[in-house]
Chain A
Amino acid sequence: MIRLADQKPTITSRPIPLRTAKRKVDTLIREEENDPPRASQKFLKTRNGFKASTPAASTQPSAKPEPEASRPWMERFAPVSISELAVHKKKVDDVRSWIEGVVCGARRNQRLLLLKGPAGSGKTTTVQLLARVLGLRINEWRNPTGTMQSDEGFVSMSAQFEDFMLRSGTFGTLDLVGDGSLNPKSSHSSESEKRMILIEEFPNTFSRTSPALQSFRKAVQLYLESSAPSPSSFSKAPKPATPIVMIISETLLSTSTAAADSFTAHRLLGPEILGHHAVTTIEFRPIAPTIMAKGLNLVLEKEARASGGKKKNPGTALLKSIAEIGDIRNAISTLEFYSLGKGSSSFMPSLPLNKDAEGTTDVDIRSSTLDLFHAVGKVIYNKRTDPQAAQPPPHLPHLARPLKPPITPDALLTELGADTSTFVATVHENYVPSCKSFSAEDELDSLCACADTLSDADILSPDRWSGNGVGASAQALRQEDLSAYVAIAGVSFNLPYPVKRAEPHGGYRKGNANHILYPISLRVWRRVEEIGEMVEQVVARMKGNGEWGVGLSGDAGGDRVKPELILERLPYLAQIERGRQRKAGGFPSSMTDLSKVVMFGRGIREKGGDDDEDEPNGEQWTTDAPDDWRKPQKAGWVRSKGTVGKVTEKVDALVLDDDDIED
């Protein structure tokens, strides 16, 4: 970020307040007029705040300590250098090499970098810091404030966006005739500085067909087409142009309710752009506990330095549970919340995060996965301690349970942070190993009974008919309660006591019997949606002018025909196409889509199915790697495809993504 470099001389030469200096610089470079100070200024502030105690900074009388101290920790103590970044090093290197490559021309055909990942995984910070190190100026799109009125708002905003893209694009190419040196010191003095477009705010795009979304995509596509050379003109060595970095916070783990309106790269950009050759996607993961712990420690140190006090010690138990959040922003604010104690250097006593103290978790860890797994554990371990008050009549001896669980389903549900459908799905994912019993007959009985109650719970769940708006919401809630009650009571009634979890068989991962898995069904929705859209694309193309010489009758896209199409026609079509292409020698992009549909279609059926008993394919939640199950297929596919250059390149890019963040 060039502003930073610029700023130093300003400060030393004239003793104007930091803020004013900053604002000046800001206004100078601002493309969009009268916006409030940017978010990126937090790094400036951080730096000031951080160095407040060093002699150099303290000579500046103008540094305002008061507003500094009033900012939240996550901004005051944000990382100031790449080494402080709590992101896996490899990921940072990936981003860095992409940006470097595009700017200096090693990857001239790349234009758009898509960073996606859960909120608080350090995407924005990584880009900001890298830009500073590489001496790039960030040109950021911001949604305009209140400039447009009411109904025509979206349209005018997307017009503004198109304008922005066009101008920054042209600007970029005009500007960038420099020598491409990477030295930030020389680049800020010369006029030939490099720039980068950062898009983090998007038009309101929550319906698939909204004009705002369409025009947004069009603007991006236009940019890609105009500035990126096509792969055929590879040899011409185009001028390095301004890269775009888009940052998208995606939801990884989604419940059925949230899935409908969550925000994914796919929904925003659509398959055409995502599949464009000038686009690279790098996916961030939740931050691993070890890295997170380091980051939190750093924050605590900075805090001690800033406040001049002793380093606060939150205790290892608290730190550990906070470190498991995976979202650094939330982790830091949770830490800050806990540190608001009476004594300034101590944490509040009686930390409720202690796992043994049941039911007092009043500060919630985000995503509530901890609570979820805790609650699920209570069901599938079927702890029974208290003597049962009532027994069934003597003619039903096999239904007697001498002990009862210490916690009623109701209490469990009130304690539960997640919504009930997620909870029931997680129980469903995990109950099977608990059914392990000495005799196979008992095991099967318990398995059947559990499956039976879970299936009933599923039928009872109001999610099923959410479409036609049955009943008032209060009644639907009651129905949800009923469903959850049946699931919880049913599973814990039918599990053997005491539970002895079976080891996972089949050598799937080095799984441990005690691991609780996150329901895979809630994970694949994103992929399902992507593939669904791809199928539609293929169908549309087939319907078109018979490009592939397949006359497809009118209603071929209908729901009834689709399975047949996917299962029986497309695989052969892909084979035929492949042969034909090999003869012709080309490799049009339509081919990629087709093979993807065929390939993924198989993947989903195998892995996303409901037969978890045979194939425990859920993931261990701690590693949180939704992509891992795709990996083997990818590899297999590459092998079978041999030497199709472009595709292999694509797959390589994906494999690169699949690193495991955890140390």
Chain B
Amino acid sequence: MPESSTTAARNGLKPSTSNAPYELPWVEKYRPIILDDIVGNTETIDRLKVIAKDGNMPHVIISGAPGIGKTTSILCLARQLLGPAYKEAVLELNASDERGIDVVRTRIKNFAQKKVTLPAGRQKIIILDEADSMTSGAQQALRRTMEIYSNTTRFAFAANASNKIIEPLQSRCAILRYARLTDAQVLRRLQQIATAEKVEVTDDGLAALIFAAEGDMRQAINNLQSTAAGFGLVNGDNVFRVVDSPHPIKVQAMVKACYEGKIDAALDSLKELWDLGYSCHDIISTMFRVTKSIPALSEHAKLEFVREIGFTHMRILEGVQTYLQLSGCLARLCKINMKPALFKLPSRDMI
């Protein structure tokens, strides 16, 4: 990625490359260049800004769900810390690179030994993206390297789960945990991009993008781009066609029908979804997500619904991906809120 002046990328509204011969993925095109542009996790980012200004970056582990800006913030930090020396003084390895124990022993050590002239308080940075996928052997081999070269080289790890990183490494780092992005944060950035790209977006289209992304900015932007490329107009239906998951409104109607005990209505909506070609996985996981968020369900109903959905999800995961399983699940959901007396067998003397 080319170096950019700090003014170039204000608010992420300007693409980082101009006149590209082919269209870059928007995720790359609008990837923040400076820390100020990063969305969310303001407290941590503020601290990183201080480091970017003063230098002396500690070893860090940044952990959190995918698509919330872990890698981006490390890259921004490195860029701001090192300025023109960025190319020379940063080694970035991610899961697609080979990171076995040999790489740690040779490539990382060689880089750590390399001499790069940097201003005071600046160190070379080794970025290990998706560090939780490194083998523990490779991680073990890193321990010493981190200590020996700490006056010239600092490490930054990005990981989805910090507990997959071995304790001796955790012990050597400051651990920053990123929270999921809120819907509002994702929304704001989506709107900015849509304006910059002159895409026509409806409100329910944005809502659908946010629902499908579950706080993952990268996915939201990707879906936005695919919908825009495929349909032109970004509205709810088009988005759900692109992300290929059942429309939550239909699923919600189905769950509500169950709550009210209307088994026939529920089965009809299920049939409709099934005929549209959605897989069992898609339907059941959308059911779970919808059930969690319907405010009209009582606490007890929510718990029992999720429990039933859980068991069905488990069966489906084990390979029983049939219409029957889903219908059975709906029937049991209906039963939960019905009068228990209805299910009593007629007493003996009536027979």
Contacts and interface: CB of A to CB of B under 8 A. Distances in A.
Interface of A: 36-39, 42, 66-67, 69-72, 74-75, 118-120, 142-143, 145-146, 150, 153, 200-202, 204, 206, 249, 251, 255, 257-258, 261-263, 327, 329-330, 333-334, 336-337, 340-342, 348, 350, 352, 359-368, 388-393, 395-396, 399-401, 404, 408-410, 414-415, 417-419, 453, 456, 459-460, 462, 465, 470-471, 475-476, 478-479, 481-483, 485-486, 489-490, 493
A366 B170 contact: yes
Contacts of B150: 71-72, 75
Contacts of A329: 171-172
B174 A414 contact: no
Given A119-B167, A143-B141, A258-B163, A493 B306 contact: no
B171 A120 contact: yes
22 contacts: A36-B109, A36-B149, A70-B56, A71-B150, A71-B151, A72-B150, A153-B102, A200-B144, A201-B141, A337-B174, A341-B50, A360-B43, A361-B177, A367-B170, A368-B163, A389-B295, A391-B298, A399-B298, A409-B292, A415-B179, A475-B281, A479-B310
A481 B288 CA distance: 10
B263 interface: no
Contacts of B299: 388, 390, 401, 404, 489, 493
B67 to A, nearest CB: 13
B292 A479 contact: no
Contacts of A145: 105-106, 109
Nearest to A340: B50
Nearest to A405: B299
Nearest to A249: B168
A295 B106 CA distance: 36
A36 B106 CA distance: 13
B68 to A, nearest CB: 11
B310 A460 contact: yes
Nearest to B169: A119
Nearest to A252: B167
B64 to A, nearest CB: 10
Contacts of B58: 72, 333, 336-337
A302 B43 CA distance: 28
Interface in B283-317: 285, 288, 292, 295-303, 306-307, 309-311, 313-314, 317
Interface of B: 41, 43-44, 46-47, 50-51, 54, 56, 58-59, 63, 101-102, 105-106, 109-110, 113, 120-121, 123, 135-137, 140-141, 143-144, 147-151, 161-164, 166-168, 170-180, 281, 285, 288, 292, 295-303, 306-307, 309-311, 313-314, 317-319, 337, 339-341
A364 B54 contact: no
Given A70-B120, A478-B285, A483-B310, A333 B174 contact: yes
Contacts, number: 232
A655 B346 CA distance: 67
A389 B296 CA distance: 7
* Nearest 4 pairs of A and B residues by beta carbon: A119-B171, A482-B310, A120-B171, A399-B300
Contacts of A153: 102
Q: Is the interface of B mostly helix, strand, loop or mixed?
A: helix
A453 B307 contact: yes
Given A262-B136, A417-B162, A485-B306, 12 more contacts: A201-B143, A206-B136, A206-B137, A263-B136, A341-B50, A364-B63, A364-B175, A392-B300, A393-B337, A456-B307, A462-B317, A485-B292
B120 A66 contact: yes
- Among A69, A145, A364, A419, max chain B CB count under 10 A is at A364
B314 A479 contact: yes
A447 to B, nearest CB: 17
B105 A146 contact: yes
B51 A368 contact: no
Contacts of A258: 163-164
B306 A36 contact: no
B279 to A, nearest CB: 11
Contacts of A146: 102, 105-106, 109-110
B162 A368 contact: yes
A5 to B, nearest CB: 23
Contacts of B303: 453, 486, 489-490, 493
A482 B167 contact: no
A330 B170 contact: yes
B204 to A, nearest CB: 23
Nearest to A404: B299
A482 B176 contact: no
Given A70-B120, A329-B171, A39 B144 contact: yes
Contacts of B164: 257-258
Contact of A470 (B135, B141, B170, B317): B317
